[in-house]
Copies of this chain bind each other. A is one copy, B any other.
Amino acid sequence: MDAEIIAVGSELLTPLRQDTNSLFLTDKLNSLGIEVRFKSVVGDDRERLASVFRDALGRSRLVILTGGLGPTEDDINREVVAEVLGRPLREIPEILAAIRERFARLGRPAMSENNARQAFVPDGAEWLENKRGTAPGLWLEQDGIVIILLPGPPKELEPMFESICLPRLAQLSTGWRLRTRVYKIIGLPESEVDQRIAPAYRTYTNPVTTILAVAGSIEVHLRARAPTEQEAESLLSDLGDKIELALGDHVYSTQGQSLEEVVGIYLVMKQKTVSIAESCTGGLLAERLSRMPGSSSFFLGGAVCYSNELKVKLVGVSPALLETYGAVSKQVAQAMAEGIRRGTGADIGVGITGIAGPSGGSPEKPVGLVFISLADDRGTQVWEFRFPGDRERVRHWASQAALEIIRRRVRRD
């Protein structure tokens, strides 16, 4: 059973808005082993929608339309689908009652004339309750083709599809089940990841392996198909174990967590606290460490010491050190890590100083040069990095590297 998704709405044909519902739907459909073969976006235009919908009926056994179910004249999906399928529109009193009831419950003024349009649906369509809005979804079957109409807003579409459509499709879909697993990797370039794991994944056509570079991490995605979910999982584990072995502790997550979440989990587990002193990252590392709920149990805080004066005042870096080595130096990074640790009483102190650019670089100290230091009860270490790219990328890479340094230290403790 192959699927096709048609997103309807003129705003989706502007540079301002994009159809994202299809990503959610594809993910859910794939879990049932249903592949999406075509995606289209079409405006609020009867003739154009009819043409795209007709093409879809000619080639797909499952056609999902999103959007176009609202109460206004622009919302044409009900009418176009009825017309193309050759079914009259019929009023469903229960839909009208449900909309009225919703307006009353939310204390809104009486339902408008327009909302009554939402109760007219193609003859023979089943309506799908919308708990988050007025537009009901619709489910139709014709000539062995399943046609589903869903409301456009993700917060209405997602629960409706998951709770009503997915279980029904699971029964209809006699195909194989699909399971996925994601390995997140740090500290190796994409080419090196590929080189290490290619000998393993090349011998498998199932699972299918995809390598993606995503914002300072490499991700290896595995997709396995099998008659049952258990068999698909076992295929995943079979190849996955080989991948983990080849990549070792460069794999920081197999459960979808972000790098900062993994660091937080280790810090909580090992009951360690951390404080940071940042210069070039300007608060980004603090922001990432505090993103996670409950981070106050391991993250005490830190200093954003953008100026030399603040490095002295907030973290106690000696002016002589700044004068001798410059703000961007191993020595200052170390003094920042030690200073913030001492000043806050944290188990671990981290210092970051570097040149994010675009200005401030020199031949000896180019843009992208970053020193990161970690101080704990076993002493102080410092690492030197040269990150490529613009200001935003240098800052992101520096925060990635700092998190990875904390991860490696705490993991071993």
Contact surface of A with B, Cβ cutoff 8 Å = 11-18, 20, 23-24, 26-27, 30, 35-43, 45, 48, 51-52, 55, 59, 210, 212, 221, 275-276, 278, 281-291, 293-296, 299-307, 309-310, 313-314, 343-345, 357-359, 391-392, 395
Contact = CB atoms under 8 A, between A and B. Distances in A.
Contacts of A23: 15, 18
A27 B16 CA distance: 9
A344 B391 CA distance: 25
A287 B283 contact: yes
A179 B153 CA distance: 28
A23 B23 CA distance: 16
Contacts of A24: 15
A37 B30 contact: no
B37 A293 contact: no
Contacts of A296: 306-307
Contacts of A344: 309-310, 313-314
Given A283-B286, A283-B304, A13 B35 contact: yes
A15 B11 contact: no
A14 B17 CA distance: 20
A314 B304 CA distance: 11
Nearest to A30: B15
Given A282-B287, A283-B302, 6 more contacts: A11-B210, A18-B23, A40-B41, A290-B306, A301-B305, A309-B344
A210 B291 contact: no
6 contacts: A11-B210, A38-B40, A51-B55, A301-B310, A309-B345, A313-B343
A303 B303 contact: yes
A210 B24 CA distance: 26
Contacts of A392: 291
A80 to B, nearest CB: 15
Could you say which of A15, A45, A276, A392 has the most chain B C-beta atoms within 10 Å of its C-beta?
A: A15
Nearest to A182: B16
Contacts of A16: 210, 212, 221
B306 A304 contact: no
Could you say which of A16, A210, A290, A304 has the most chain B C-beta atoms within 10 Å of its C-beta?
A: A304
Contacts of A305: 301
A71 to B, nearest CB: 17
A358 to B, nearest CB: 5
A23 B11 CA distance: 12
